[in-house]
Amino acid sequence: MIAIVDYGLGNLRSVQCALRRVGAERIGAESIITSDADEISGADGVILPGVGAFWRAMENLRELGLTKVVLESVRNGKPLLGICLGMQLLFSESDEHGRHDGLGIIPGKVKRFVESPSLKIPHMGWNEVRHQDLSPLLIAVKDEEFFYFAHSYYVVPDEPAAVIGSTDYGLTFASVVQSGNVFGVQFHPERSGLDGLTILENFCAICA
Amino acid sequence: MLAKRIIPCLDVKDGRVVKGRSFVNLRDAGDPVECGKQYSDAGADELVFLDITATLEARKTILELAARVAEEVFIPFTIGGGISTIEDARGLLSAGAEKISINTAAVRNKPLITEISEAFGNQAVVVAIDAKRTGESWEVYINAGTTPTGIDVIEWAKEVEQLGAGEIMLTSIDSDGHNAGYDIELNAAVNEAVSIPVIASGGAGGPEDMLRVFTEGKADAALAASIFHYGTYTIAEVKDYLRQHGVHVRD
């Protein structure tokens, strides 16, 4: 069972629909959308989705009393996948609307793209992810495959080793990160066609 | 490198896909979910469903449509038409739509743009602008292109960006439905004025029109309806042509 954490931000249903599609082929992809700490701690894996503002996401997680159970799950080695804003929340801090603390699971910062006449913000659409098969999350995903992005901020991990996939948009940024059993993708696998479904399937395999 | 997007648009009336010439003479072209799935399999980068019924009783139909599409289609899709409150937006986004587009309601109630953007992120908010040429400039029209507003398109585009729109869907009323090419000057002018992505809409007759709107019009995405619905071109043909002419598109 995968717990999709509901903290009031983010398109949870599209993540669940994608998992359901993966589940047609794989046992262990059952999921629940939940904001219940017990359900989260009882799950085999946790997905932290999310769109919107960083500070509000952190505030909601705290108000719902969910930061503790997420951190505990990570400490216990339970696989966690952060998607888009959910990935950014894994980091130490963000510059979005002032400085705000994140979950601090992966050391690093969240920064805004710098606008220029040739660089539109949000970074929206399909862009390539370069990787070197370093992670179980990217099994069967070709190098330079396209994924769907929609974001104005990007993560800068302190440890270069945490970066397992990168993408170019004005600069090269970390689009896939991993630290132990904690994974993050800046794009939306649930919106990235068959390759996105492959990533979700890989995550389910990691949780099994 | 970010790819230029090709977006089929499906006009939906009473739960069925239709497309007309300049907003009249509608023709039935199929089931929205089946159409969407086919386009996704064929290589569409995104889908737009525009509900042109947009009456109160149709709101439930469009919610069901969003929920059904989310179960079958795993690329982003936008729902537009008749969205006038944050609750409308919330319903569609929770059903599984990636973005919502607002047009008339954005003009009549500007704070709505900010409200939706703050609640769901600006990437979820597309402001659709229907533009009609008046001499050297363009005027914003609302109510499905029937009502002039006196508002200048370029000024409005800048304003919606400030208000929190994440993207602009820019339709030329003059070109729409004629398959004779996008309004390149309009697209170039709006792309010059804003730093959020712009989807060009209205007038696609073939791949060469898309090439022009990407290169000369500087658009980030190109929307088309009839050329895809009636099979004049496949998405693969359009993308092959663009690739041959140096435009970066997704395989």
- Give the best residue of A4, A6, A7, A11 to mutate against chain B (max B CB count within 10 A): A11
Of A21, A119, A124, the CB nearest to B166: A124
Look-up: residue for tokens 């072209």?
B29
Taking residue A6's Cβ as centre, other Cβ atoms within 10 Å add up to: 18
Q: What is the pLDDT of residue B216?
A: 98
The partner residue sitting opposite B197, judged by closest CB among A120, A126, A190, is A120
Query: To the nearest 10°, the Cα dihedral for B102, B106, B111, B112?
Result: -30
Give the integer Cα–Cα distance in Å for A25 and A12.
Answer: 21
| pLDDT range class, residue B54, cuts 50, 70, 90 | low
Confidence check: pLDDT of B246 > 90: yes
Catalytic entry in A96, A123, A151, A190? A190
pLDDT at residue B49 greater than cutoff 60: yes
The question of whether A84 is a catalytic residue gets the answer yes
Q: Could you give the percent of chain B with pLDDT greater than 90?
A: 76
How far is B49 from A178, CA to CA, in rounded Å?
Answer: 36
Task: State the pLDDT at residue B173.
Answer: 96
pLDDT digits (tens, 9 = 90+) for B195-222: 999 999 999 999 999 999 999 999 999 9
A-interface mutation test, from B7, B40, B45, B74, most A Cβ less than 10 A away: B74
**A138: amino acid identity, one letter:** L
How many distinct helices (H) and strands (E) make up chain A? 6, 13
What pTM does this model have? 0.95
- List, as one string, the DSSP characters of B171-218: EETTTTTS-S---HHHHHHHHHH-SS-EEEES---SHHHHHHHHHTS-
Domain spanning A2-207, CATH architecture: 3-Layer(aba) Sandwich (3.40)
Cα angle B162, B163, B168 (rounded to 5 degrees) comes to: 80
Nearest-CA distance from B8 to chain A in Å?
Answer: 15
What ipTM does the predicted assembly reach?
Answer: 0.94
